[in-house]
Amino acid sequence: MPILQEFEYFKPSSVNEALHLLSHYKRASVLAGGTDLVNNLKSEIDQPDAVVDIKGISGLHTIVFKKNILTIGAAVTFSELIASKIIQSKYPVIAEAAKTVGSAGIRNRATMVGNICSAVACADSSPLLLVFQANVLVQGKKGKRKVAIAKWLKGNKKTDLKKGELVLAIEIPLPAKKYAGRFVKMGRYSGEDLAQASVVILALPKNQFRIAFGSVGPVPMRAAAIEKVLNGREPSPELIKEAKAMVPALISPITDIRATKEYRMHMSQVMFGRGLNDAVERFRGKGSDYGVSLL
């Protein structure tokens, strides 16, 4: 299918040049991996006057870990995240989640920043970034600002991005010196499919937990009520069972082409139970290897 909309294509080499283009054109779209944008151009969901390809800006291709904060540039692909030594050692659950995004051919192009800018309800990065309490680093003509991921995601396909602004990076603080994570995603089949439901769990020292659910509401959600019940207590099988029973009251899945509401509801509980168990085990140095499926 050809793209009918005519637009100008730019590939700036600096952030300032990109910002100038984004504010100069009335309707400018940012292009990174293009795995969402090009489809939106074809189906005329996006009808820009200008497409600004940010892959020419070298500063946006970096993954940096400094002062216990991981900074992922806007042009970094999921394949690059998976291959990153620093992510494998300090944030293995990010690699675990990145491996489940689409297929190799998608991951070679798609970016994490693009994922949270498209901000569809089933975005794999969103629940992950929620538990890490990540910040989105945004630059506009007036300067930079940082937005907490929870405030960034405003609804299905809605973000806090303002006209003329560009997302430079995501900043992910290291949650603790020693911690474990678990990402569980359910699709209809492995490879290529979008999530029917996903759960992310971080197990931190002193029995503290951070939990988020994806694809079971218009935006992914932190499960504060469950965290409250778990925090500070020994995660015994009874306690995990109690926490599992709280899931249905917290999430609001819908029925669509990929799964029914009831199936999502049931499986979110199953995934949460197994995920929590595995996160606890991983924290204790046992548990499964990162990247192994629990379903």
- Give the nearer residue to other proteins in terms of CB position, either 59 or 191: 191
Report, in Å, the least distance between residue 203 CB and other proteins: 26
- Among 204, 223, 224, 172, smallest CA distance to 284 is for 204
Per the DSSP assignment, residues forming a β-bridge with 77 are: 111
Is 205 a residue that touches other proteins (CB under 8 A)? no
Per DSSP, the residues of 163-204 read TT-EEEEEEEE---SS-EEEEEEE-SSSSSPPPSEEEEEEEE
Nearest Cα to Cα of residue 251 among 112, 117, 127, 101: 127
Spatial distance between the Cα atoms of 212 and 276, rounded to a whole number of angstroms: 11
**Size of residue set near other proteins by CB under 8 A:** 31
Question: Cα 129 to chain center, whole Å?
Answer: 5
- When asked if residue 1 is in the footprint of other proteins (CB under 8 A), the reply is yes
Binding part of the chain for other proteins, among 112-120, 187-195, 209-217, 226-234 by CB under 8 A, reads 187-195
Of 77, 289, 75, 295, nearest to 195 by C-alpha is 295
Three-state DSSP at 153 gives strand
d(CA 138, CA 51): 18
Residue 122 engages other proteins in binding (rule: CB under 8 A): no
Select 111 or 269, whichever has its Cβ closest to other proteins: 111
Q: What string marks each residue from 226 to 245 as x (binds other proteins by CB under 8 A) or -?
A: --------------------
- Say whether residue 105 binds other proteins (CB under 8 A): yes
> Which DSSP letter does residue 111 get?
B
From 47-55, 121-129, 160-168, 253-261, span contacting other proteins (CB under 8 A) = 47-55
In this complex, which beta carbon is closest to other proteins, that of residue 42 or of residue 61?
42
Q: Which residues contact 116 (CB under 8 A, 6 or more apart)?
A: 123, 125, 126, 129, 136, 149, 152, 153, 159, 167, 170
When asked if residue 115 is in the footprint of other proteins (CB under 8 A), the reply is: no
Contacting other proteins (CB under 8 A), which of 2, 143, 237, 285?
A: 2
Residues 226 and 131: beta-carbon distance below 8 Å? no
Rule CB under 8 A: say whether 55 interacts with other proteins. Answer: yes
Q: Is 164 in the site for other proteins (CB under 8 A)?
A: no
- Nearest approach, Cβ of 3 to other proteins (angstroms)? 4
Determine contact, residues 265/248, Cβ cutoff 8 Å: yes
Burial class (CB in 10 A: 0-12, 13-18, 19+), 33: buried
Would you say 32 or 169 has its CB closer to other proteins?
Answer: 32
C-alpha pair distances (Å), 270 with each of 87, 218, 275, 277:
28, 21, 8, 11
Tell me how far, at minimum, the Cβ of 13 lies from other proteins, in Å.
Answer: 12
Which of 192, 205, 228, 255 lies at the binding interface for other proteins (CB under 8 A)? Answer: 192
Among 173, 191, 232, 248, binds other proteins (CB under 8 A): 191
Q: Nearest distance from residue 90's CB to other proteins, in Å?
A: 22
What is the amino acid identity at position 201? I
In whole angstroms, the minimum distance from the beta carbon of 60 to other proteins comes to: 15
Of 109 and 145, which CB lies nearer to other proteins in the complex structure? 109
Write out the residues near other proteins by the rule CB under 8 A. Answer: 1-9, 11, 31, 34-35, 38-39, 41-42, 51, 53, 55, 79, 102-106, 108-109, 190-192
